[in-house]
Amino acid sequence: MKLCKLFDEKKVVFSFEIFPPKKTSSIETVYNTLDALKGLHPDYISVTYGAGGAGSGKTCEIATLIKGKYHIEPLAHLTCINATREQILAELEAFKKSGIENILALRGDRNPEIPACYDFAYAGELVEFIAQHGDYNIVGACYPEGHPECNSLEEDITHLKDKVDKGVSHLNSQLFFDNNDFYRFLELTQKAGIFVPIQAGIMPVTNSRQIERMVSLTGAKLPSKFSKIMARYGDNPEALRDAGIAYATEQIVDLIASGVRGIHLYTMNLPYVAQRISTNISSILQTSNQ
């Protein structure tokens, strides 16, 4: 099923993101995660694409498994910065053969160690290419605090509008910890004429190393309320995990109450955390979709 239909049918879409196991691990290690996530009845599950195109085959393999074995709609991520047109065509062919209809079209992060191919400079070019080479539902990424490479949020949104106009049906956002940043972003996108549904990306923080890595990668701002949690519970993994789950739950409750069209949970392949959050918000989701 194409994900655009979901947004026609539901007021609030709830989805998960998982990543393929490392190159050295077998694909089976993802089964435990998927076995547990299936019971939480997400609307779809997205599968990341290795940075720099590494481990690309696994994205297709896991997306195929999600569809065939778990009967959940997959969203396969695909990056283009290190890929030639021929490589992207081969990926599209593999998706088509496996019945994968939904693709998150991404540029990918620049990596000085991997030479960029210049067939695609931006995700918008990949969106255009995918639209010309098959009947896929195309999703895009967006950044409530602005993409780290861009000079301003406004400029980033101008590029985003261009990407959406090339054939994106909905957007998944980068993680953020201050809902006000997301609301401001929604306002600016509306003003810029972007009217596709935008799902809020929420990452429950469960350990302090993970948050340091995420903040350095994404440039996400840490509100003082959040920093206080890190300072108080950072040395106690259980307390930090509980506080992280509580913080993410509070963010989600506020976002849904404010009319946001969807929540995309970065599960970090931790079903326990996804489970607790899903339980916390189950009646809220149910009420919102009545």
Structure tokens at 77: 């991520």
Which chain residues interact with ligand FAD by CB under 6 A? Answer: 48-49, 51, 77, 79, 106-109, 122-124, 141, 147, 149-150, 156, 159, 162-163, 172, 174, 201
Give the end-to-end CA distance of the chain in Å, rounded to a whole number.
22
Q: Which CB sits closer to ligand FAD, 157 or 270?
A: 157
Q: Which CB sits closer to ligand FAD, 241 or 264?
A: 264
- Tell me how far, at minimum, the Cβ of 287 lies from ligand FAD, in Å: 26
Q: Which CB sits closer to ligand FAD, 58 or 241?
A: 58
Contact 33, 267 (CB under 8 A): yes
- Tell me how far, at minimum, the Cβ of 167 lies from ligand FAD, in Å: 13
- Tell me how far, at minimum, the Cβ of 94 lies from ligand FAD, in Å: 16
- Tell me how far, at minimum, the Cβ of 263 lies from ligand FAD, in Å: 12
Please give the Cα distance from 189 to 158 (Å, whole number): 9
Q: Which CB sits closer to ligand FAD, 74 or 108?
A: 108
Structure tokens at 275: 């489970």
Q: Which one from 9, 17, 91, 93 is the annotated catalytic residue?
A: 17
Q: Which CB sits closer to ligand FAD, 34 or 198?
A: 198
- Tell me how far, at minimum, the Cβ of 148 lies from ligand FAD, in Å: 7
At CB < 8 A and 24+ separation, what contacts does 276-280 make?
276/245, 277/204, 277/245, 277/248, 277/249, 277/252, 278/14, 278/40, 280/245, 280/249, 280/252
Position of tokens 């539901």?
Answer: 10
Burial environment of residue 234 by CB neighbours within 10 A (0 to 12, 13 to 18, 19 or more)? middle
17 is catalytic: yes
**DSSP secondary structure letter of residue 115:** P
Please give the Cα distance from 46 to 23 (Å, whole number): 19
Question: What residues are annotated to the active site?
Answer: 17
